[in-house]
Structure 1
Amino acid sequence: MGKVHARAYSKMPDVQLVGGFDSHSERLAAFSQEFGAEASPSMDSLLASVDVVDVCVPTHRHAEYALRAIEAGKAVVCEKPMARTVAECETICEAAARKGTTFMPAQVLRFFPEFKKAQEMVASGSVGNVATVRTRRGGDFPRAAADWYADFDKSGGAMLDLIIHDFDWIRWTFGPIQRVFARAITFDGYDHLDYALVMMKTKSGAIVHTEGIWCEPTGFRVAFEICGDRGMLEYDSGKSAPLITAVREEAGSIAGVSIPESPSNTDPYFDELRHFIDCVQSGASPDVSAQDGLEAVRISLAAIESVKTGRAVYL
């Protein structure tokens, strides 16, 4: 993810990629060579030379590096999940508020055009009162240095690392979550396989089903369905016309033709980081707040608790 972010910054004429720090020296050297950035020998050295820090380390170290940057007075964008625990997220929120620094959790799904368009349509009432939502996200089990995704204590599995994307978008689009109930194979002893089905109820009354998959070798695919009393939105990344709308006529009958929507084809990672940089420069608050990052982690951990206990968790 660090390279994805670096490529986005390299396209911004008003941003200079000064340097990077990585505890793995060979990886840092390759990064430095590819992007023409200084290979900082330590985090302190990096902090002394930059205005903005982008945290793209394994989840269990997010709080450590984000807090060091915040305490140094730097603006910080931190990859999702914001941190491994709610307590760590709360500490980050407190530190950013106390230091007055710009902080944004990188919940990039809000910047994907199909998901952004769907949120706008729900907010405008295009589908009416939303009754049910289904999301699906997944592919094969991720691999990384030291295989840290397979260490649940570090990654939190698919419920924290993967479908936190959906949890944040669902909360943004449909409002606060009231209840979480989940089933998963996370703790069943499978080797490099994970799957979770999370059922939620929003405070507005909508029923939400979220599916997270780390056991599908055929490729990464995401999808959603939103059903309301005025119509339906459907998205499937595997389809050539991915965002489909079907609206009801005033008499209550289904309109005969589904109309494909074609949101602008942009790079959501660039859009996300451009928004962050604009906020740093202007002093505006990012659209994704530290509190948003905390609440997404809270939902993920509630799903994990539900799997462990077999009971619903109320938020």
Structure 2
Amino acid sequence: MTSTPLLRWGILGTGAIARQFADALATCKRGRLVAVASRQPADGLADCFGGVTVHAGYAALLSDPDIDAVYVATPHPGHAEWAIRACEAGKHVLCEKPLAMNVPEAMVVADAAERAGVVAMEAFMYRGHPQTRRLIDLIAAGAIGEVTLIQAAYGYHTDVAAGKRHFDPQLGGGAILDVGCYCVSMCRLIAGVAAGKLFAEPVELQAQGHLGPTGVDERATALLRFPGGLLAHMAVSITTVQDNSLRIYGTAGRIEVRSPWFCSGKTGGIGTIVLTSRSGAVETIEVETTDWLYALEADLFADAAATGAVPWPAPGPADTIGTMRVLDDWRRAIGLDYPCERPGRRETAAGRPLRRPVDAPMPYDDGLGLGKPASRIVTGGMALKSFPLAAAVYDAFFEAGGTMFDTAYVYGQGEVDRLLGQWLRSRGVREEVVLIAKGAHTPHCRPDAIRPQLMESLDRLGTDHVELYFMHRDDPSVPVGEFVDVLDALVREGRIGRFGGSNWTIARMEEAKAYASRNGRQGFDLLSNNFSLAEMVAPMWEGCIASSDDVSVEWLTRTQTPLFAWSSQARGFFTDRAGRDRHDDPVMVNCWYSETNFARRDRVHDLAARLGVTPAQVALAWLLVQPHPVFPIVGPATLGELRDSLGALRVRLTPDQAAWLKSGESR
């Protein structure tokens, strides 16, 4: 039997937590410290870390071939950046908590780890301690009956001082991110175990906080409500000492953990869990270990690196993102954000300028004649509600070769326009992308509404023109020439390039083309209707039009009119959001449920299983092999959803497969 090689560690950062982790590594069973990195190495630094190699700069350590795993111990705003870069360098990553400044950054870290085939884990050291395992077992065994209330506190006092990270917004200071993450992580863990799950997500949050003179939260409280009525109260502080305990109440008693975060101590010892029955009987459970706290964490992480998966109860990617989401909500509730989250930052979450690899897998279409690459896949931003989230998704789309961005005057009451504009200005890529704008939605579908709405959208976007423009609806009572005249004038002014209709009938498109031809105007030569392998049974919104029927397909093929297909994946019909036995989404049922569509869905799932891809990827790939130009519009709410859609680019459907998916018969 061969022994497992020791995991070779490098540490980014040389502060107090880095030194604690380094000391613990000297006692762990499955790892050893090889190197540390500092931006400005001081004399004698190697001696402080046992004589290991000292790299000048973090990038130098990441290029060290003798390093297997990296411990990120930088200030908070550097966590995501260096975790991402470490993943890209092929290193496993244990990152100090919080993993990132917000959910979108955490998504980017998880995405980088998955794409690189490495493990990235958030460093909650208490999750690897046997005391936490014993606590979980007690809850799961019903030692206090049904869990109804959790109280978690973590507070300490540190003096306000210039440059101290705890109070510096530039360094992510404040109690919620520094210690609130422990309370949120623990409460979600306990609520999950109580419900027979690995972790649970709260359905409601109420919070209060005190922002000090530097603008960060010096103390804050939050109340979480979980499914089933379980409540969790959390109190955190950086200027007020608390008892730093955990109390869990149930229908048959209560549990108190007097040291939930450091357990039996940093260098081993005895941890205690006090179990009190409803009748008042007290049992003190001792959990003893000689292992150092951070050594336990390092050995647990070695298991993760060896297997490629984080072992529970350590936090995996979904658990970490869930904790981060609560922290985001908590900060939002007390009005706290950080400079690094605001528009204006040129760099991506990886800390570098946006870049598009020359070998990006995105196909392009030259038929639009825009003078710049037009990606076959278009991304929309209706589901992106904050700048950090919009930036994470738009960055990933751009770096995958995406150039087409869709927005509309009415989306989010203008917020989608604004977020896209903020991203364009922050990243400086306006001339490299194609903007698609829409206006004149019902009830403002009038010729005189087009110009003022467009000008407002341009102002929000921070540009003087868009490459493509669609009327968002049609009003057949208005002579089509009135619309053509206004849009043609905007083309001549350089405000828009090509234009067309969204939710327009073929008859009105032909009428508009004929008018333009007779009067020397530019005509409607683009269409943006619903088009999907699943045909829309009923309109999703009033005035919606689909073009998946045979008559429309024949016209599209004959005229080769570019079709910008919204709801190109039928709003998740091909995923587990739909099914013959699922009726919890009335919109899905009303708009997409038919036996014809379910038969197609069955064939999609069958082919996806055979190809080793997701059903949504097969459904999207089908659009890319149509006999007429289709530009599918996707609307990801997360980075994971975008990656799933982009995965369709790896699916190469044959004509026979495409025909079979639609009709059940090969050509």
Name the residue aligned to 1:308: 335
Q: Greater shift after overlay, 269-278 or 140-149?
A: 140-149
Work out whether 1:161 is the aligned partner of 2:178: yes
Per-residue CA shift, 1:145-180, capped at 9, x if unaligned? 931221134225101111101111111121221111
- Give the Å deviation of 1:284: 4.1
Q: What corresponds to 1:196 in structure 2?
A: 220
**Residues in 2 aligned to 1:68 and 1:142: alpha-carbon distance in whole angstroms:** 34
Q: Partner amino acid for 1:298?
A: R
Instruction: From 21, 36, 59, give the equivalent of 1:20.
Output: 36
1:44 Cα offset (Å): 3.0
In 2, Cα distance between equivalents of 1:169 and 1:108: 12
Change (3 A) 1:31 1:192: farther
Give the 3 Å change call, closer, same or farther, for CA 5–143 of structure 1 in structure 2: farther
Code of the residue aligned with 1:200 in structure 2: it is L
- Say if 2:247 is the partner of 1:247: no
- Determine whether 1:42 maps to 2:57: yes
- Name the CA shift for 1:53/1:143 in 2 (closer, same or farther; >3 Å): farther
Is 2:92 aligned against 1:75? Answer: yes
Matches of 1:123 and 1:146, distance apart in 2: 45
SS for the counterpart of 1:141 is coil
Does the CA-based 8 Å contact 2:245-2:259 persist in structure 1? yes
Residues 182-207 of structure 1, C-alpha deviation per residue, up to 9 Å, x if partnerless? 1111x243799811111111123211
Correspondence 1:205 to 2:229: yes
Partner of 1:223: 245
Report the equivalent of 1:258.
282
1:301: Cα distance to partner? Answer: 1.5
Largest Rg, 1 or 2: 2
| Offset at residue 144 of structure 1 (A) | 9.3
Partner of 2:318: 291
**What is the alpha-carbon distance in structure 2 between the residues aligned to residue 42 and residue 241 of structure 1?**
39
Q: Which moved more, 1:4-13 or 1:49-58?
A: 4-13
Question: Which of 100, 122, 125 is equivalent to 1:108?
Answer: 125
Identify the residue that residue 254 of structure 2 maps to in structure 1.
Answer: 232
Equivalence for 2:166:
149
> SS of 2:245's equivalent?
strand
- Counterparts of 2:60 and 2:44, CA distance in 1: 16
Residue identity matched to 1:232: R
Cα distance 1:278–1:33, how it changes in 2: closer, same or farther (>3 A)?
same
1:312 — aligned with what?
Answer: none
Q: Contact between 2:150 and 2:233, CA under 8 Å: does it hold in 1? A: yes
Which has more strand, going by share of residues? 1
Q: Is the 8 A contact 1:123 1:173 kept in 2?
A: no
How many residue pairs were aligned?
Answer: 298
Residue 292 of structure 2 is matched in structure 1 by 267
Cα contact 2:165–2:173 (8 A) shared by 1: no
Task: Give the 3 Å change call, closer, same or farther, for CA 282–63 of structure 1 in structure 2.
Answer: same
Aligned to 1:184: 209
Q: Separation in 2 of the partners of 1:24 and 1:137?
A: 33
- Is this contact kept in 1: 2:79–2:99, CA < 8 A? yes
Residues 194-245 of structure 1 show CA distances to partners (whole Å, capped at 9, x for unaligned) of 111111111232111101022236xx7411211111211112249x985211
Assess if the C-alpha contact under 8 Å between 1:3 and 1:31 holds in 2: no
- Cα contact 1:132–1:208 (8 A) shared by 2: yes
- Native 8 Å contact 1:233 1:243 kept in 2: yes
Change (3 A) 1:144 1:290: farther
User: In structure 1, what is the Cα distance between the partners aligned to 2:217 and 2:58?
Assistant: 34
Shift in CA distance, 45/59, structure 1 to aligned 2, threshold 3 Å: same
Find the counterpart in structure 2 of residue 90 from structure 1: 107
- Measure the CA separation in 2 of the matches of 1:144 and 1:258: 44
1:94 positional shift: 0.9
- CA change 1:16–1:100 in 2 (3 A) is same
Q: Which residue of structure 1 aligns with residue 531 of structure 2?
A: none
Structure 1 CA distance, aligned partners of 2:295 and 2:68? 19
Amino acid at match of 2:32: Q
CA RMSD of aligned residues (A): 2.6
Give percent identity, aligned residues only: 24
Question: In the alignment, is residue 30 of structure 1 matched against residue 45 of structure 2?
Answer: yes
Distance in 1, matches of 2:162 and 2:213, equals 21
- CA-CA distance at 1:115 after TM superposition: 3.7
Q: Is the Cα–Cα contact under 8 Å of residues 177 and 200 in structure 1 kept in the other structure? A: yes
Q: Is the 8 A contact 1:183 1:307 kept in 2?
A: yes
- Provide the rounded CA distance (Å) in 2 between the counterparts of 1:236 and 1:166: 14
Alignment of 1:130-141 (within 5 A): 130-141=147-158
Cα shift readout 1:58-107 (whole Å, capped 9, x = no counterpart) = 00000111111000111111000000121111111111111110111112
SS at match of 2:220: strand
TM-score, normalised by the number of residues in structure 2: 0.42
4+ long deviations beyond 4 Å: 142-145, 190-193
Q: Is the 8 A contact 1:29 1:39 kept in 2?
A: no
**8 A Cα contact 1:160 1:297, kept in partner:** no
CA deviation after TM superposition for structure 1 residue 285, in Å: 3.1
- Residue 26 of structure 2: aligned partner: 10
Shift of 1:290: 2.1
Distance 1:112 1:141, change over 3 A: farther
Q: Equivalent residue of 1:259, what SS?
A: strand
Distance 1:143-1:280 versus aligned 2 partners, 3 A rule: farther
Give the C-alpha shift of residue 131 in structure 1. 1.0
2:305 corresponds to 1:280: yes
| Post-superposition offset of 1:269 | 1.7
The 1:76–1:190 alpha-carbon spacing in structure 2 relative to 1, beyond 3 Å, is closer
Aligned to 1:251: none
Query: Quick one: which amino acid aligns to residue 48 of structure 1?
Result: S
Indicate how the Cα distance of structure 1 residues 203 and 154 shifts in structure 2: closer, same or farther if over 3 A, else same.
farther
Q: Which amino acid aligns with 2:317?
A: A
AA matched with 1:80: K
